[in-house]
């Protein structure tokens, strides 16, 4: 039954992040989800694929290899 729609709370627990992080990812990083009325719903497989593709990668992670100085 892994194809059922999951709530913000469930997907946050699955990923080990806060609900606020989920809302931020949906609005600013294009996390795959669907709004049903007032509620956001997610497919676990879609979210897992989005994570694997680097969808949740932060700008600080991308800059970490170039952020060090030589001295």
CATH number of the structural domain spanning residue 12: 1.10.1660.10
- Please write the tens of the pLDDT for every residue from 2-51: 589 999 999 999 999 999 999 999 999 999 999 999 999 999 999 999 99
Question: Using 50, 70 and 90 to split pLDDT, how confident is the model at 69?
Answer: very low
pLDDT at residue 57, as a whole number: 84
Q: Domain range holding 17?
A: 5-56
In a domain, 45, yes or no: yes
Q: What is the dihedral of CA 24, 26, 31, 35, to 10 degrees?
A: 150
In a domain, 39, yes or no: yes
**Residues in CB range of 56: below 8 A, 6 or more apart:** 25, 29, 31, 50
| Distance from C-alpha of 65 to C-alpha of 61, rounded to nearest angstrom | 8
What is the total count of domains within the chain? Answer: 1
In a domain, 36, yes or no: yes
Prediction pTM value = 0.75
The candidate with the shortest Cα–Cα distance to 31, out of 52, 13, 16, is 52
């Amino acid at each position: 039954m892994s194809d059922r729609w999951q709530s913000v709370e469930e997907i946050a627990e699955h990923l080990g992040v806060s609900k606020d992080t989920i809302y931020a990812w949906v609005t600013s990083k294009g996390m795959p989800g669907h709004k049903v009325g007032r509620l956001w719903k997610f497919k676990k497989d879609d979210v897992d694929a989005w994570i694997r593709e680097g969808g949740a990668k932060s700008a600080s992670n991308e800059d970490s290899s170039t952020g060090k100085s030589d001295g």
